[in-house]
Amino acid sequence: MPQLLYLETVGCQMNVLDSEMVVASLRRHGYELVEDPSAADTILFNTCSVRQHAEEKVYSALGKLRRLKQKHPEKIIGVLGCMAQKDQQLIFERAPYVDLIVGPGQLSQTADLIERVRQGDGRQAALSLGRRDGSTESIRRSHETFDPLRDPEMRPTPFQAYLRIQIGCDKFCTYCVVPMTRGPEQGRPPEEILAEARLLADQGCKEITLLGQTVNSYRYRDGERTTTLADLLYKIHDIDGLMRLKFVTNYPKDMSRELLQAVRDLPKCSTYLHVPLQSGSNQVLQRMKRGYTVEDYREMMQRIRDWLPGAAVSSDFIVGFSGETDEDFEGTVQMVRECRFKNSFIFKYSVRSGTKAAERLPDDVPEEVKRRRNHQLLALQDAISEEDNQRMLGQTVEVLVEGPSKAAEKSGADGPILQLTGRTMCDRIVVFDGSLRLVGELLPVRVADCTAHTLIGQVVTGHAGPELHALDVLASSPVRV
């Protein structure tokens, strides 16, 4: 009898990738995935600590399992990922029926740890060292991940994959917990990354997204030789079968000319750049210890516009950070107007224990003000996104078809033609009608309508097959030859 496994994932792309690895490894140990936690023998949560809300979601899900565990003490409950690393024993205190906690650097041990619990060895915990708990080398090693395991069935789609090129973060923005949960910044060796990219292409993968907390800060030193993200892009670009290459998340200070030039020169590279600004006020940026000014960011934007005209840039913002005044917030509003981001992720500041801001800066913007600023900024960004999408009406874009749209999934539609969803080269979401046969294809779609977040179009028939193209709009003519 296979062991039945339920795994729920919250957090960033790193966690999505980690969950893929954990499931691949557990499958090798005879586990089978199920959708219903109450049907599972082992229930795992891969967790995020970046905001309190993300943690509350998991604690509340754990709370709901209390009864189940009382009735079925043989079921195993585990907390993996960033929250395990941050809260450690506190998880056992808040939910005493949890059997194992596993940090992001120890996920390869998950199968063994579950086995130990099952054999009656009691609660298990495998965590990385804290940032002051050992030699630099031992701390680094304790955060290493186990990336080479690959199971194409576990990815959201078999033709798209994440590939981690960098572990951890050393920027220490004052609000952020990631340098604690993911440890020191480490670039993975280029040979490993390339081998993995080749493997992914062999498995039929058309799009690879390189992952790092500050992916463009990637550096790997081997003696005299230093490999940068631009170097990696040139190498990965040569791999046959791959059609699209993306990378997230970028750090504004490290958006070098060399990198922009690589993106310009390599047709498989997406001209979509996610470069979080966080705030449009120099005082706030300084308190966040982001390491750049509004003027620096403007300069970077100009550099992007010069090298990559038509590139889509997106951002993250935190509103209501310690000491943020109306004037500071107005600076953020101005920058959103000026930069015309493709989209922005906007968050209310959430104090994270263990960070510099939690120790030294009061959380003094009232919740009500945070909420108002959040709504105001979202409304402005949505208006900009919609205006920019309107400009694409009548144009033809190239779409990598991902599968049925959310609407089609919700309505349970499974006819010969249903609404499909996909993304353009610049990461714009497009929905259109088509058959499931088209999933995984690169297709031209003419944009007929739009909302702030979605383009709505029709497949252009009679096209000549995919052609590499770095920008979104293909040509004024609907049919490419």
Residues that bind ligand F3S (CB under 6 A): 11-12, 14-15, 48-50, 81-82, 177-178, 181-182
Phi, psi of 354 (to 5 degrees): 95, -10
Question: What is the C-alpha to C-alpha distance for residues 87 and 113, in angstroms, rounded to an integer?
Answer: 19
Residue choice 249, 314, 374, 385 for contact with ligand SAH (CB under 6 A): 249
Please tell me the distance from the alpha carbon of residue 80 to that of residue 298, in angstroms, as a whole number: 39
Name which of residues 242 to 261 contact ligand SF4 (CB under 6 A).
Answer: 251
Instruction: Report 347-386 residues binding ligand SF4 (CB under 6 A).
Output: none
173 is a site residue for ligand SF4 (CB under 6 A): yes
Contacted entry of ligand SAH, ligand F3S, ligand SF4, none for residue 179, CB cut-off 5 to 8 Å set by kind: ligand SF4
> With contact defined as beta carbons under 8 Å apart, do 186 and 139 qualify?
no
- Which run of H or E residues covers position 457? strand 454-459
**What Rg, from alpha-carbon coordinates, does the chain have?**
23
CB of 176 to ligand SAH, least distance (A): 4
CB nearer ligand SAH, residue 243 or residue 304: 304
Provide, rounded to whole angstroms, the least separation between the CB of residue 431 and ligand F3S: 27
The b/e string for 346-385 (b: 16+ C-beta within 10 A; e otherwise) is bbbbbebeebebbeebebebeeebbeebbebbbebbeebb
Q: Residue 14 touches which of ligand SF4, ligand SAH, ligand F3S, none (CB < 5 to 8 A by kind)?
A: ligand F3S
Q: Examine residue 176 and tell whether it contacts ligand SF4 (CB under 6 A).
A: yes
Q: Does 169 contact ligand SF4 by CB under 6 A?
A: yes
The span of 38-46, 110-118, 122-130, 173-181 binding ligand SF4 (CB under 6 A) equals 173-181
**Cα angle for residues 419, 404, 11 (degrees, 5° grid):** 130
Q: Which residue has the tokens 């049925």?
A: 404
Please name the residue that has the structure tokens 């954990």.
22
> What track of x and - describes contact with ligand SAH for positions 319 through 348 (by CB under 6 A)?
----------------------------x-
When asked if residue 315 is in the footprint of ligand SF4 (CB under 6 A), the reply is no
The span of 168-176, 331-339, 419-427, 468-476 binding ligand SF4 (CB under 6 A) equals 168-176
Min separation Cβ 346 and ligand SAH, Å: 8
What residue 352 binds from ligand F3S, ligand SF4, ligand SAH, none (CB within 5 to 8 A, per partner kind)?
A: ligand SAH
d(CA 113, CA 119): 10
* Under rule CB under 6 A, residue 114 binds ligand SF4: no
Identify which range of 12-20, 99-107, 167-175, 262-270 contacts ligand SF4 by CB under 6 A. 167-175
Helix (H, G, I), strand (E, B) or coil at 209: strand
d(CA 340, CA 315): 10
Indicate which of ligand SF4, ligand SAH, ligand F3S, none lies near residue 11 (CB less than 5 to 8 Å, by partner kind). Answer: ligand F3S
Q: Is 410 exposed, middle or buried (0-12, 13-18, 19+ CB in 10 A)?
A: exposed
Long-range contacts, stretch 415-418, CB < 8 angstroms, 24+ apart: none
- 336 token code pair: 């959103």
CB of 400 closer than 8 Å to CB of 442: yes
Q: Strands of 10-158 (E only): list them.
A: 31-33, 42-47, 76-81, 100-102, 124-126
Amino acid letter for position 372: R
Nearer residue to ligand SAH within complex by CB, 167 or 266: 167
Query: Which is it for the CA torsion 46, 160, 251, 188, positive or negative?
Result: positive
Q: Which is nearer to ligand SF4, 346 or 418 (CB)?
A: 346
| Pattern 211-240, ligand SAH, x by CB under 6 A | --xx--------------------------
51 binds, among ligand SAH, ligand SF4, ligand F3S, none (CB under 5 to 8 A by kind): ligand SAH
To the nearest whole angstrom, how small is the minimum distance from the Cβ of residue 423 to ligand F3S?
21
Chain residues that interact with ligand SAH, rule: CB under 6 A: 50-51, 175-176, 178, 213-214, 249, 276, 278, 316, 318, 347, 349-350, 352
Chain residues that interact with ligand SF4, rule: CB under 6 A: 169, 171-173, 176, 178-179, 213-214, 251
